Copies of this chain bind each other. A is one copy, B any other.
């Protein structure tokens, strides 16, 4: 099976990206330390057409060389905003009608495979610090918690990998037509 050339991939231009209807999904980074992780989430956000990326607290922001190493230009396409605290970001989302879910391991969390957004729901997902995860007080402000079920010895995925898994899973659930393009 012949590999496709770059020009055969139907890649959007930056202006086509900006004008495209988005996956109704905002991704919130709660004090993510690694700039490589931030860049990687930008890149995943480009692939799955997320609406916006909210960078909070110590999370680095573009322009930044380290973010660019893994973002590979997707900081020019994915819309982003900076908030001093994750609480401000979540308050703003809740006021604008979003359901806000922390991606964590918590009591009564719903597992990702069982979670289905309601029709027309506007959704935001909060991913946390590499070691500390999402802060308890941030979780307390959220609509709920979604957990990636894990079966091994660690129960701790890299945050860029977690974001990839959850964004992919919700891209399919929110946008069956896009995935069937």
Binding site for B on A (CB under 8 A): 1-4, 9, 11-14, 16-17, 20, 36, 40, 43-49, 70, 72-74, 77, 104-109, 111, 113, 133-134, 136, 139-140, 142, 144-145, 148-158, 160-165, 168-169, 172, 178-181
Complex CA–CA separation, A149 to B12 (angstroms): 13
Query: Quick one: which of A2, A20, A36 has the most chain B CB within 10 A?
Result: A2
Question: Is B43 a contact of A1 with CB atoms below 8 Å?
Answer: no
Distance of A60 from chain B, by nearest CB (Å): 17
A133 surroundings in chain B (CB, below 8 A): 3
Contacts A72-B156, A158-B40, A161-B160 hold; do A150 and B107 have CB atoms under 8 A apart? no
A36 surroundings in chain B (CB, below 8 A): 36
A145 surroundings in chain B (CB, below 8 A): 1
The closest CB in chain B to the CB of A109 belongs to B1
A169 surroundings in chain B (CB, below 8 A): 168-169
What's the number of copies of this chain in the assembled complex? 2
A104 surroundings in chain B (CB, below 8 A): 3
Contacts A161-B160, A165-B165, A168-B168 hold; do A153 and B1 have CB atoms under 8 A apart? no
A43 surroundings in chain B (CB, below 8 A): 154, 156-158, 161
Checking B2, B74, B155 against A106 with a beta-carbon cut-off of 8 angstroms, the contacting residue is: B2
Checking B11, B106, B111, B156 against A153 with a beta-carbon cut-off of 8 angstroms, the contacting residue is: B11
Contacts A70-B158, A161-B160 hold; do A152 and B46 have CB atoms under 8 A apart? yes
The closest CB in chain B to the CB of A162 belongs to B164
Distance of A13 from chain B, by nearest CB (Å): 7
The closest CB in chain B to the CB of A152 belongs to B46
The closest CB in chain B to the CB of A163 belongs to B161
